[in-house]
Amino acid sequence: MKLFTTVRLVLVFAVCFIFTQTTSAQFTTGAYGLKQTALNTLQLIRAFATEKQDIKRLDGAIENLTSSLDLSLWLDDSHLNPLTGVDAFTDEKKVISNLQGIVKNKKGTVPDEVAIDLINTVLTADRLIAAVAIAEGAPSKQLEKANALLAKGDENWANGKYGNAIGNYKKAWLRALKSVNPALVSPLLDEDEEIEAELAAESPASFTLLAAYPNPFNPSTTIQYELSEPTHVSLKVYDIAGREVANLVNEEKAAGSYNVRFDAGDLPSGTYFYRLHAGALVQTHRMVLLK
């Protein structure tokens, strides 16, 4: 029993430390740390487990949680990779399912409160990932829906519907990403086709800002945009703090398709936003410089 008391103290300390030591820009780093703490705790419990079903569930949870920590799912220390990060949420659902199985196992030796602590740790991590994406989102209907989904996930969590909570945190994350760069997460359309359909209906018809390619990039990338009518165009790049780092276009443009090369050779690695003003309309996308 002393072992499980220690396990609970480790989890509580990890949650408190991350909340007090990080800012919103670092929450996803905190989420990664929470997941790693949960994995370490699971491995410790597994070393002392004796009941057959507990061992099976613990092995499953360890496998799935390890998978969610694969670096290929992370764009950098603060963001899941939009192209692969959805797999982390899928793995987390399996982790939760295994932990719930431990709670339901009346013959098991792992205390229910320890399994529930682990469930709460995993949910805290996934909520932080969604919350960071929302904090960095662009004001839009998509961002409003992201906030609504985050609240729905919180409600699910409070009512013990843990799998639904993760599903809503995933959707909140996707919508927040789409508020900044709709094309960036286009390979995930099968995950939530409704988001893409709504986004297309909301997009202005007079111009289109496409995803930078390549993205991530080093040291240069190409930004493409299309105009359906002549208008004044402004295309600028900002760092994550909102400081302007490049003014790529600022002139009248005829209708047509345009490619603009952005060279970031003198800039540090990190997340950048490129914003296109075409007349009274604005679109913002995100890109990542990896050196």
156 and 165 in contact (C-beta within 8 Å)?
yes
Q: Report helix, strand or coil for 224.
A: strand
- Quick count: other Cβ atoms within 10 Å of Cβ 103? 17
The residue among 179, 166, 187 whose CA lies nearest residue 81 is: 187
- The pLDDT tens digits of the residues spanning 52-107 come to 999 999 999 999 999 988 877 877 766 787 767 888 898 999 999 999 999 998 88
Annotate 95-113 with DSSP letters as a single string.
Answer: HHHHHHHHHH-TT-SS-HH
Q: pTM for this one?
A: 0.59
* Buried b / exposed e along 260-278 (16+ C-beta atoms within 10 A): bebebeebeeebbbbbbbb
Determine the Cα–Cα distance for residues 157 and 153; give it in Å rounded to an integer.
6
Of the pLDDT bands very low, low, confident and very high (cuts 50, 70, 90), residue 241 is low
Element (H, E) at 261: strand 256-263
Q: Which two tokens stand for residue 85?
A: 């990060």
Mean pLDDT of 209-229: 90
pLDDT recorded at residue 183: 54
Determine the Cα–Cα distance for residues 159 and 156; give it in Å rounded to an integer.
5
pLDDT recorded at residue 185: 45
* Angle 141-178-259 from CA coordinates, rounded to 5°: 120
Mean pLDDT of 253-270: 92
Burial class (CB in 10 A: 0-12, 13-18, 19+), 147: middle
Mean pLDDT of 13-36: 55
* Angle 13-76-86 from CA coordinates, rounded to 5°: 85
Distances (CA, A) of 291 to 169, 256, 265, 274, 276: 30, 33, 9, 19, 25
Q: Which two tokens stand for residue 50?
A: 């004796």
Element (H, E) at 207: strand 207-209
pLDDT higher than threshold 80 for residue 13:
no
pLDDT recorded at residue 19: 43
Q: Which two tokens stand for residue 247?
A: 């003014």
Of the pLDDT bands very low, low, confident and very high (cuts 50, 70, 90), residue 141 is confident
Determine the Cα–Cα distance for residues 137 and 141; give it in Å rounded to an integer.
11
Percent of the chain with pLDDT over 70: 79
For the chain, report the end-to-end CA distance as a whole number of angstroms. 48
- Quick count: other Cβ atoms within 10 Å of Cβ 8? 16
179 and 190 in contact (C-beta within 8 Å)?
no
- The pLDDT tens digits of the residues spanning 174-196 come to 889 888 876 554 434 334 445 44
Q: Which two tokens stand for residue 74?
A: 């992370």
pLDDT recorded at residue 27: 36
Q: What is the DSSP letter of 269?
A: S
pLDDT recorded at residue 122: 93
